[in-house]
A and B are shown apart, each in its own frame.
Chain A
Amino acid sequence: MLGYIIRRILAVIPVMTIVAVFVFLLLRLTPGDPAAIIAGDMATPAQLERIRTSLGLSDPLHEQFITWVGLLLQGELGTSLISNTPVTQMIGQRIWPTVNIAVLTIILSILIAVPMGVLAAWRHRTWVDYVVMAFSVLGFSIPVFVIGYLFIQTFSIELRWLPVQGYIAPSEDFSKFLSRAILPCLTLATIYVALIARMTRASMLEVLGEDYIRTARAKGVKETVVLFRHALRNAAVPIMTIIGTGFALLIGGVVVTESVFNIPGIGRLTVDAILARDYPVIQGMILLTSGLYVFINLVIDLSYTFFDPRIRY
């Protein structure tokens, strides 16, 4: 197991190196000039060139790359060309809203979707099953911003139960955090509930047809125990796969939801950086996201052993 973990961690090095080279080159090939954003409409070509020089953008590409890699090896991601702020500081400010919203969304999704999926499988081809499946189709089909606006209109504008927008850190005021996070989380959860419920139902249907379930029932085991201890545990592998993938996607940033609910997460940070051609921030964000994906994959793979003792690394 330890050897496997070390091998996986070592495998990160070539992956991240390829990502770094690819991202660096791709960004430099994209049209756009951060100096033009900084200087504004009235800048003369000479002024633009002087700003480019002061930002290091006039240096040859290989020198820029070496400088950046040198910073990376020291654990630094550089400084934003636009705001002159360290990229690590910017990411540090913006990662927590994204993580918190992702965690809450996944918890909500699991709490709602898994029982829904189990119920649908248990009552296969009854109205319960059809309702769950109809909800799944709807959840997939309605764009996330429409759901967001509908929630805001209903719960914030009409009923005035919850704030329209904003974000407050849970450590600052947990109840205010919840009151602001609940609508974006519900909005995002709509998709994940649909996805997880559908996967749970399909997985459960297959397991419920297995011999050991029939045996358990024949032995007179209670139906809830059959469903949740015997069936659900054995159906968990694909469900957990979907949950893990969903979590990684949420951590990667959900730009539309962040915009609709005004959450200062890393999705918006990335989009803003791309629009401004803020190279160090884009590079930092893509490296971070890649690293997170690799890490989450590793954690998910390792967690297999908890759910299925037959799996060994």
Chain B
Amino acid sequence: MLRIQERLFRGRSLGRGAALGLLAGAVLMAGSSMATIPAVAEGKTVTAVMHSGLRVLDPIITTAHITRNHGYMIYDVLVAVDENFEPQPQMADWAISDDNLVYTFTLRDGLTFHDGNPVTAADAVASLRRWGKRDSGGQLLFDVTESLEAKDDKTLVWTLKSPFPALLEIVGKQSAVPPFIMPERVASGSADEAITDYTGSGPFVFVEEEYQPGVSVTYRKFDDYVPREEPASWMAGGKNVKVDEVKWVTMPDAQTAINALMSGEIDYLEQVQIDLLPILETSENVTVETRDELGYQTIGRMNFKYPPFDNVKVRQAAMMALSQEDVLGTLIGNPDYYTICGAIFGCGTPLADESGSETLTSGGDIEGAKKLLEEAGYDGTPVVLMQPTDVVSLTAQPVVAAQALRQAGFNVDMQPMDWQTLVTRRASQAEPSEGGWNMFFTNWMVPEINSPLISPMLNGRGDDAWFGWPKDDEIEALRAEFIAADTSEKQKEVASKIQKHTLENVLYIPLGQYASPQARSNKLTGMIPSPVPVFWNIEKAD
């Protein structure tokens, strides 16, 4: 046996002598100083494990939450929404003309970029223009923009063709792409190419030399930042930094992150898997809490271009078969962390209305779905349901939905794939049998869908709409009506119509809300409740 093995190894030219390699490696080892992961938070350094690694540094080009969070660390915004969903001055105050067509923003004193240059109105104009090419809300706004100009170093004037009462709400939105203010030299570049100069004017400075994509990123306190005097509230108010440094470290293994928090090696864990909570709850040094009460909405989206979901009755039958309780119970498990909610704009938001969601929120109606499917004349066309297998927060929905749809009489073809394959395939407008699809699921942060102006699923412009491509003139008319509504009462009234229309036509299926708990060392205090984890206001005890 041994002789055979020996011959085999000799034959493959794999042999002995690794000692030389070891020696060489040891020499190299002594000289290496790269790739150090900050392992212990010392002094006034906060070490945080975020929900994913930071890889894209341009918060305008991507909607990735981790990049948006990075944006809030190093950039500032003109306007910010507070916990009451009200836009508040952040970098600028504003005045609105009587005809609601001219918005004049005045930058506050003391605004400085990290390179020492003052923030000017020209910087803000360039930044808003670049943002307007990428963000869906920004695009709506620029559609009605007559001009946007810097009147002087401190003043920018935004003139509209027609009133847009939600301007401040859009400019102050916190997701998915807030209009971060960058230096003009940076923001004047293409909106389709990532920036390479990371100079901001926010409360923290990005430490470029310590950045390792997907591994760690360091932010130092910006000593010249002048916070507002109002108390911090969501993304508005005073951003008072009380630590010297914040390090974001990526930990791909959830158990390792929990162990590191319990042993004091890290201070903060942005997301804790629900099934690992019992381990953390045994630790006296750690607090588990819900930072973002709104949380996430999980949804199902159909392809309107192809059978069977080009038929509204079939879509209604599918929605009737689904139960939020079943989906959330499987996805989250612990009822403390999920909410049955039929509001397309999310429960807990000003526009919340649950009309038309009765079957969804009361356990589904399989018999009703069967009947409806029969009335629709469903001919057994397979439903290609895409199932991502590598995203923990998206693996349960397709399985539960497939079971319910099969019970209702659908012929479901569930196809497992990785998320990257799914996001590529969902962009395909080919027939489902030729590489297209019929249904997929995803999750949104509630602030990303809490208004008809920003929710991508409510775009009814056919091929120009979000994946699924519904052609729905009525929803477009309702969105226009919402844009024109100049009081919150009128907005609620239109939003209610949009809720009913959306669920009657099943533009998408809201499958409920869930919260993602965070965990922090008890040494950390002062973290403000907010959909975006922010590191101002935080104090760290010795």
Contacts and interface: CB of A to CB of B under 8 A. Distances in A.
B466 interface: yes
Given A83-B214, A165-B256, A206-B2, A42 B16 contact: no
B17 A96 contact: no
A40 B456 CA distance: 12
Contacts of B176: 40-42
Contacts of A96: 28-29, 32, 34-35
A47 B37 contact: no
Q: Which of B16, B215, B260, B427 has the most CB atoms of chain A within a 10 A radius of its CB?
A: B16
A143 interface: no
B252 interface: yes
A167 B2 CA distance: 39
A37 B423 contact: yes
Given A40-B63, A163-B39, A171 B32 contact: yes
Contacts, number: 270
Given A32-B424, A307-B17, A264 B22 contact: no
A203 B2 contact: yes
Chain A residues touching B, majority SS: helix
A92 B276 CA distance: 35
B71 to A, nearest CB: 13
Contact of B421 (A31, A237, A240): A31
Given A38-B56, A39-B61, A241-B9, A165 B265 contact: yes
B175 to A, nearest CB: 10
B406 interface: no
A156 B34 contact: no
Contacts of A103: 22, 25-26, 29
B70 to A, nearest CB: 12
A69 interface: no
Contacts of A245: 9, 14
Interface residues of A, number: 93
Interface stretch (A70-78, A282-290, A296-304): A296-304
Interface string A159-189: 0100111111111100010001000000000
B16 A259 contact: no
A156 B64 contact: no
B9 A33 contact: no
B464 A44 contact: yes
A300 B12 CA distance: 11
A7 B107 CA distance: 69
Nearest to B19: A303
B39 A51 contact: no
A134 interface: no
Contacts of A240: 15-19
B36 A202 contact: no
Nearest to A152: B259
B433 interface: no
Contacts of B30: 170-171
Given A32-B421, A42-B466, A262-B251, A48 B427 contact: yes
Given A42-B176, A299-B17, A83 B420 contact: no
B212 interface: yes
A149 interface: yes
Contacts of A203: 2, 6
Interface in B234-253: 249, 251-253
B194 interface: yes
A95 to B, nearest CB: 8
A238 B13 contact: no
B117 interface: no
A33 B63 contact: no
A262 B425 CA distance: 32
A126 B265 CA distance: 46
A259 B252 contact: yes
Nearest to B442: A41
A97 interface: yes
A20 B456 CA distance: 40
A168 B9 contact: no
A131 interface: no
B330 interface: no
Given A262-B260, A301-B15, A272 B214 contact: yes
B87 interface: no
Interface string B257-298: 001101101000000000000000000000000000000000
A35 to B, nearest CB: 9
A205 B3 CA distance: 12
Interface string A76-92: 00001011110000101
B116 interface: no
A50 interface: yes
Interface in A55-74: none
B6 to A, nearest CB: 5
Nearest to A204: B2
Contacts of A264: 35, 37, 212, 215-216
B16 A244 contact: yes
B541 interface: no
Contacts of B3: 206
Interface in A13-42: 31-33, 36-42
Given A107-B22, A180-B39, A260-B253, A241 B16 contact: yes
A172 B39 CA distance: 13
Contact of A304 (B17, B29, B31, B424): B17
Contacts of B38: 166
A300 B420 contact: no
Contacts of B56: 38, 82-84
A160 to B, nearest CB: 7
Contacts of A85: 213
Nearest to B258: A164
A137 interface: no
B171 to A, nearest CB: 17
Q: Which of B55, B136, B425, B444 has the most CB atoms of chain A within a 10 A radius of its CB?
A: B55
A45 B427 contact: yes
A133 interface: no
Nearest to A235: B2
B473 interface: no
A239 B456 CA distance: 61
Nearest to A32: B420
Contacts of A306: 17
10 contacts: A42-B136, A43-B63, A164-B263, A167-B37, A169-B33, A169-B35, A244-B21, A277-B420, A303-B15, A307-B16
Closest 7 CB pairs of A and B: A303-B17, A240-B16, A166-B39, A40-B63, A83-B213, A96-B32, A103-B25
Given A32-B421, A169-B34, A244-B15, 8 more contacts: A31-B420, A33-B423, A33-B424, A170-B29, A176-B39, A240-B16, A276-B420, A277-B420
